[in-house]
Structure 1
């Protein structure tokens, strides 16, 4: 199988790692200087925090529940990544509302966001489950670094040497500037516990009044079981040179608390210590770490 380039550090910000195969200095400059239009909606996530889920929700909310796009166009075309090389081709000349995904830390995001342009939805997930999901994804995503064993990956996550890390800086960077932009903060865990209520929150934030029929259509489509079987969502359309589908699945479990199946007691305690140190003072950020449910 073809070997892809390893992630590279930006010359001016060596702490940020991005995979060269889908990013470039030019694509990151494009993201930073992206001209925001009225109606633009930005879905911001750290990797493995509900990005795909939010792409489906936004597609359906802004189309009043029309399922045609989600059955015919891959999510990366409907809600493309701003920082990737393909962004300009997807977003230039696109009619409003333009739906945009990004994993970028705040300092790399479009400068106009801090001036109140566009709308931002930041989706967060408890970082133990992020670490678990990210580890499994990295084992078959050929454009990412080899994760090694879980102990290696665990240490890389804590020390911020994985794509778009550190997690702590990512969430703090965005939430510290929330008052400078039109932002809605949601969590993966809240959406699992109350998908219908959170779809309504998102719709209201974007200015859409959904009737009960449309709301039910969106909620039924945006369950984990529905999305994992859709080729427009589950990334099985991505060629094997990018994702080795023989060794893993993009849509794996969609559960809260799966970290307990991978973390040792010592790792959990170490993570708790680092989390308490890094997130000290961020009293508004609270996570549910385990529930017996799935999307």
Structure 2
């Protein structure tokens, strides 16, 4: 398999991709003079500019063969997308460099006043089968996905690392609501007041339906522990028979280091007026256990108490370190 970093160095036209990103993100609401607010869809807080056009999402037509990649925010979404794209392209890096992640695998609920910039518009221009990203809790996934029998890959991450990553993302992403202090943000997370709602409800919703629907439930920590094993599981779920050399190559080319250097996956072409990289990078650490650098002993004790109560009836095997 071609080494990703070497191939990028020789072949990547950065200026063309930067131009495309700048064009895509010239949005009326994205001047970042003010951060967005949240509104609700069926009791779930969402960015207000998504909610304004919710009917388009609700009525989205999925087709047989479409694949949905679902996650709570900051749980390994882009990582999963890139692995899936490489699997579907037999590990061919060049094919996966055809466009940025969000163009190859559009964000379902990303909706704007300019319809040409929405995920749905992009999806409607693509021939099935399509790979589609969402952060929607399972009850908000358009019914057409279930009616068509679409497969779903759900990536879950332990809540402590999730909230830490989400906090730094919201500090950096100037289109998101003002995060406030770490203590304030953690409190909002525990109350389910961040965009896309309660982490607890999100992970439990997909877990409960994993045997009733075609859902492959993955864990971020498992992927970090043994990438090749999890890549193999995904490939088998997708009906792809790949040689071990290809499996190994996909795992190698989707490490955190490789992804961070991949301009088609690292969102590096989003302008600094949207992503304040002086605050944080889009791909910051990608570690298991970074929560220890943020939670005070008191915060951890309170969080542990809530976690035990909220997860008592749903034994999802999350790990907080590996």
Q: Give how far 1:143 is off.
A: 1.2
1:80 maps onto 2:106 in alignment: yes
- Matching residue of 1:70: 96
Report if the CA contact (8 A) 2:209-2:215 is conserved.
no
> TM-score of the superposition, structure 1-length normalised?
0.92
Q: Does the 8 Å contact 1:36/1:117 carry over to 2?
A: no
Contact 1:116–1:182 (CA<8 Å) still a contact in 2?
A: no
CA distance in 2, matches of 1:64, 1:97: 16
1:42 to 68, 78, 83: 68
Larger helix proportion, structure 1 or 2?
Answer: 2
> Any conservation in 1 of the 2:167–2:179 contact (CA below 8 Å)?
yes
Q: CA deviation at 1:232?
A: 1.2
**In structure 1, distance between residues paired with 2:38 and 2:168:** 21
- Give the corresponding residue for 2:56: 30
- Equivalence for 1:286: 317
For the residues of structure 1 that align with 2:123 and 2:320, how far apart are their CA atoms? 36
- Structure 1 unpaired stretches of 5+: none
Alignment of 1:73-222 (within 5 A): 73-85=99-111, 86-115=118-147, 117-222=149-254
After superposition, give the CA deviation of every residue in 1:78-99 in whole Å (9 maximum; x if it has no partner): 1111111211222114233300
Q: Secondary structure at the match of 1:240?
A: coil
- Equivalent-residue separation in structure 2 for 1:5 and 1:19 (angstroms): 10
Alpha-carbon contact 1:50-1:125 (below 8 Å) kept:
yes
Q: 1:20 aligns with which of 48, 54, 63?
A: 48
Aligned residues: 286
Output the aligned Cα RMSD: 1.6
Distance 1:164 1:241 in 2: 24
* 1:200 CA drift (Å): 0.6
CA distance in 1, matches of 2:211, 2:52: 29
**Counterpart of 1:3?**
33
Distance in 1 between the 2:312 and 2:84 partners?
Answer: 32
1:53 aligns with 2:62: no
Q: Which moved more, 1:131-140 or 1:63-72?
A: 63-72
Q: Is the 8 A contact 2:39 2:51 kept in 1?
A: no
Report the alpha carbon displacement of residue 288 of structure 1 after superposing the two structures with TM.
1.3
Q: Does 1:252 align with 2:252?
A: no
